[in-house]
Amino acid sequence: MSPRATGHRRVHRSVAAGVPLAVLAALVTAGPAVGAPSGQTHVVRTATLGDIPLGAFSNALLPGTVDDDRGVDLGGIGSDIYPAGRKGEFWTVTDRGPNGQIKVDGSKRRTFPVPGFDPAIVKIRVSGDTVKVLDAIPITTSSGKPATGLPNQEGRDEAPYSYDAQKPLPYNPNGLDTEGIVRSEDGSFWLVDEYGPSLVHVSARGKVLTRYVPKGLRLTGTDYPVVEALPSVLLHRKTNRGFEGLALLPGGDLVMAVQSPLSLPDTDAGDASRTTRLLRFSPREKAVTAEYAYRFDPVNVVDPSEDDTSELKISSVVAVGRDRLLVEERTDKAARVQLVRLDRHANILGGPWDDDTTSPSLEQLDDPAASGVPVLAKRLVVDLGTVSGVPGKIEGVARVDHDTLALINDNDFGMTDGTGAFDAQGRLVDSGVETTVTYVRLPHGI
C-alpha cells in the first residue's frame, strides 16, 4: 500500500510539515578521538546526525507519502557515501527504509513499519562534530510516483508485512533496496539495488531512467524502463544480499560488488562460501564487460568474535585509480579495507562460472585459484576492527584525501528485530544507534 503523490520537490531550505528543515536537522554531537599515536591508523573526527522525524522528512519530498512514521527518525543514509566536490560534503543514499524481522509460527517475517517511505539521495556536510542535511532527492518512477522500498516479486523476494508482522503488504515492482551511489559528470546518479540485484541510472532530480537487471528476471509492471543486461547467474543472489558496493572508475566504467557469495547451487553452498563476484559495467555500451572472482578472508580474520562464514559481506568499493579499488569486507561488528587491481587476465565473464549448471560451482570451490580460477590479488590497507572509535556496521567508505577515509555506518533507522522493536502503542523503541561519519587517518596513505 504505497501512497501515491501528485508531485515531488527536493528538500533544500524547505519547510517540512510546517517546520523548517534547519530545525528538523538539529544535531546531536560527538567529539573526535584524541591522543592516538601519529604512526598508527586513528580516528581524527566523528560527526553525528541528529533526530529528524522521518514523516516530516519524507512528506517534504513527496507530500502525503507517510501518514505515520511510528516515531522513527531519518536514518539508513549510511548505505554509501560519495564525495560531492566540496570539502566535507558528500552524497549518501538511504536503503529501502525501516525494516525488521519478527518470528511468527516459527518463520521470520520481514516488516516494513513505514511502508510509504521512499528511498532518497541525501546530500550532507560534515561540519565539526555534526552532520548537516543540505539537500535530499526522492527516487521516483517515470511518472513521478515514489519508487518505494517494498519488495518486487512474490516468490523471489521476502513477503512484506506491517510493523507487527500481522498484516501482509503488497509487493511493488518499482521498489528499490538502494545501497551504493556514485555521481556522473552530467549530474545523474548511479545506484545499486539488492532486490534484482540491479544497477539503476537515476536523473539529477531522482527519476529512474533505466534499471538494469539479470537476464531472465522477468520483472514486469514497472513504471520505468527495465533492461535485462546483467548475467543470469545473478538470479542466484542470496536473499537480501544483492549488490551492495558501487565504484566509478576514472574512465567512466562502473564496478558493482555482489554483497555475499551466490546461493549456487543452493543456500548451504552460498552460506559456506568465501568467494563472491565483482562486475564491471560500461554505461557507454550499456553492458557488463568484465566479471571477477573476489575471495574473502576467513571470517575469524575479519572479525575475531565471529565464526559464521555467512556473515561475510562486501559493503563498499571505492575507485583509487583506473584499475584499482578499495574493497571493504565486513561483518556487522568489524571491517577490513583491501586494495585490489582489476587485472584484465582475471576476467571470468561468459565462462563456465556464469553457467549455473557447472558443478562444482565457483562458490563451492574450497580453493578457486588451485582450480584454475583467476582470483583478484589483494593487499590489506587497514583493519578497522582494531581502530578505536570506529562504529559497527560500516557500509560506506569514501576517500577524502591521500591518507584519510570517511566512513559512514548504517544505523537501521534505530530499529531492532523482534517483537520488542515497538511498544504497545506501535511507537519505535529506539536502539540508540546514531548515524555517524568517521574520518580515519592512515599512516601510509593510499
CA angle (107, 110, 115) in 5-degree steps: 150
Each residue's pLDDT tens digit, 72-103: 999 999 999 999 999 999 999 999 999 999 99
C-alpha cell at 352: 563456465
Q: What is the DSSP letter of 78?
A: B
| Location of C-alpha cell 516459527 | 106
Give the model's pLDDT for residue 37.
55
pLDDT > 70 in the chain, percent:
91
| Location of C-alpha cell 513477503 | 159
Q: Give the residue-averaged pLDDT of 9-15.
A: 40
Question: Which amino acid is residue 288, in one-letter code?
Answer: V
Q: How many Cα neighbours within 13 Å face the side chain of 362?
A: 28
pLDDT at residue 29 above 70?
A: no
Each residue's pLDDT tens digit, 292-347: 999 999 999 999 999 999 999 999 999 999 999 999 999 999 999 999 999 999 99
Give the model's pLDDT for residue 446.
87
Picking from 170, 81, 152, 169, the residue whose alpha carbon sits closest to that of residue 121 is 81
Contact 122, 138 (CB under 8 A): no
Task: Indicate the pTM of the whole model.
Answer: 0.92
Q: Give the residue-averaged pLDDT of 350-357.
A: 97
pLDDT > 90 in the chain, percent:
91
Burial class (CB in 10 A: 0-12, 13-18, 19+), 242: buried
Instruction: Name the pLDDT band for 31 (thresholds 50, 70, 90).
Output: very low
Name the more confident of 384 and 25.
384
Name the more confident of 10 and 209.
209
Give the model's pLDDT for residue 444.
87
Instruction: Name the pLDDT band for 15 (thresholds 50, 70, 90).
Output: very low
Average of per-residue pLDDT values in the chain: 92
Whole-angstrom distance, CA of residue 53 vs CA of residue 329: 32
Q: Where are the domains of the chain?
A: 15-441
Picking from 329, 314, 332, 438, the residue whose alpha carbon sits closest to that of residue 392 is 332
Give the phi and the psi of residue 363 in degrees, each rounded to 5: -70, -25
| Signed CA dihedral, 221, 222, 223, 224: sign only | negative
Q: Give the residue-averaged pLDDT of 47-70.
A: 98
Q: Give the residue-averaged pLDDT of 199-213.
A: 98
Each residue's pLDDT tens digit, 115-173: 999 999 999 999 999 999 999 999 999 999 999 999 999 999 999 999 999 999 999 99
pLDDT at residue 22 above 90?
A: no
pLDDT at residue 21 above 80?
A: no
pLDDT at residue 38 above 70?
A: no
β-pairing, 254-258 vs 275-282, is antiparallel
Each residue's pLDDT tens digit, 271-297: 999 999 999 999 999 999 999 999 999
Whole-angstrom distance, CA of residue 411 vs CA of residue 397: 15
Within 303-358, residue ranges assigned H as helices are: none
Q: Give the residue-averaged pLDDT of 244-270.
A: 97
Distance, C-alpha 13 to centroid of its chain = 27
Give the model's pLDDT for residue 445.
84
**Any residues with CB less than 8 A from the CB of 360 and at least 6 apart, and which?**
none
